[in-house]
Amino acid sequence: MAEKKSFEEVLKKLEEASAKLKSEDISLEDAIKSYEEGIKYYKECSEILEKADQKIETLTK
C-alpha cells in the first residue's frame, strides 16, 4: 500500500460506496464500479483488523 490509511478512513469510503450503490437512479455500470470499489475497501478494512487482532494476541501472550 502506497499510503497508510486509518481503519476509520477506509471504513468511511466503504460506507460511501455502499450508499452510492443503493441510490435509486444509479446506472448498472456505476453500480458495478461502486461494488468493485466496495470490495477493495472491504479487503483493506479486513486486513487492518486482522493485523490488529494479531498484534493484540502477541502483546497479551
Partner 1 sequence: MALKPVRVSQLNSYIKRILQSDPILGNISVIGEISNLKFHSSGHVYFSLKDEDSKVSCFLPAGNVGRIGFQLKEGIEVTAHGYIYLYERGGSYSINIRDMESAGQGDLAAAFEKLKLKLQQEGLFSQEKKKSLPVFPYKVAVVTSPTGAAVRDILKIIKQKNDVVDIMVYPVLVQGPSAPDEIAHAITDINENHTDVDVIITGRGGGSAEELWAFNDENVARSIYASKIPVISAVGHETDFTIADFVADLRAETPTAAAERAVPDTRELREYIDSIYSENRRNLRMLLEDRKKHLQLLDPKAFGRDLQSRVAMDHMRIENIMEDMTDSIHSMIRDKKYRLMLLKETLDGADPKAILKKGYSVITDENGVIVRDASALEQDQLINIEAAVGHAKARVVSSGKDK
Residues binding partner 1 (CB under 8 A) = 7, 11, 14-15, 17-18, 21-22, 28, 31-32, 34-35, 38-39, 42, 45-46, 49, 52-53, 56-57, 59-60
CB of 1 to partner 1, least distance (A): 17
CB of 2 to partner 1, least distance (A): 21
Nearer to partner 1, 5 or 11 (CB): 11
DSSP structure string for 1-61: --S---HHHHHHHHHHHHHHHH-TT--HHHHHHHHHHHHHHHHHHHHHHHHHHHHHHHHT-
Residue with cell 453500480: 31
